[in-house]
Amino acid sequence: MRLDRAELRVVSLPLLQPFRTSFGVVGEKTFLLLRLFGEGLEGAAEGVMDARPQYREETLSGALALLRETVLPEVLGRDWVNPEELTRHLSFLRGNRMALATAEMAFWDLHARSLGRPLSALLGGVRDAVPVGVSLGIQPSVQATVETARAHAERGYRRIKLKIEPGWDVEVVRAVKAALPDMPVTVDANAVYTPAHLNTLLELDGLGLDYIEQPLAWNDLRDHAKLQALMRTPLCLDECITTAQDARKALETGACRLVNIKVGRVGGYLEARRVHDVAASFGAPVCCGGMLESGVGRAHNIHLATLENFTKPGDTSSSSRYWARDISCEALETESGLMPVPPGPGTGVTLDLPFLDSVTRMKETVTLASPQVTAWGAG
């Protein structure tokens, strides 16, 4: 498969409702979209880095520069047997896992399309639909949270995840658990708590949660290990895990009992599979996290979640929860708590190009010659 050219876009897609976490409030999702072209086909992937380094250290502007100036010149104009070969070629680059994942995932999509096979089949997936939970941002009130959680439970979602922060934690969890006693409920702190919040975390431990996700610092396994030793509730690590080696160290030291895998965070599908396999070797389940992706990124996540050890419901809920209109032509909607794998080769989704153009803020074509900016501020 010879890669002829690439297209980089910055896309801004308005959310139906603001999504609030401990990081702040998001009303519009701005993301990087990469399209790779070769032999009359194309593959696409979505970058999960934010404009500011709040979730992890990578940024949208930094990823654009790295892809434009380093990654794409290394891969364009060459023949690649498979994604493994392309990934090995880029292994001299350190860090920047989200940027590298964007290129690797786009090539996986293109490679699968060239073979006429769904991406999940190439990854080793074992199911044609994946169990889905819902992630609820911080709501205006406890009652609003209960009502929103109940509404999603009635739609068949199989897990409720509540975003929490100090001062918005124990009371809201108690209320949701009382309203939905049989529903698995989890919380996600996005690394905002510290050991000084131990009493609150121990209160949460007594509320029957399925797990507590990333309560402490984004880069601290030691304090998570100390906390897990004090708690019955499993800890799930997200921001801390960027490689299979991180997963091994976390599980060996008891810093967690399950892992949230985001293919963009760990550098692509090859490393995501390694994290998946490491967790399985420890008997630890994994779940598929989300980053408010459009249909492109959501489809990639769905295919990943078909792997065997994804036994916890993931964050691949219906696109219609987030967008009035998505950039993919295909509707990605749950059915009775299951998200069907999009049929067809590759990710199974195609771009709604007229709408995509209307929400594109910047577009440039990259070839073996210098990149050409072809549109700014479209829409």
List residues with catalytic annotation: 163, 262
| Region for 123 from its dihedrals, namely left if φ exceeds 0, alpha if ψ lies in -120 to 50, beta otherwise | alpha
| Region for 21 from its dihedrals, namely left if φ exceeds 0, alpha if ψ lies in -120 to 50, beta otherwise | beta
**Exposure letters 117-156 (e unless 16+ CB within 10 A, then b):** ebbbebbebeeebbbbbbbbbbbeeeeebbebbeebbeee
Q: For residue 320, give the 3-state DSSP assignment.
A: helix
**What are the beta bridge partners of residue 362?**
10, 376
Per-residue DSSP letter, 71: I
Q: For residue 186, give the 3-state DSSP assignment.
A: strand
Per-residue DSSP letter, 195: G
Both structure tokens of 365:
């074509």
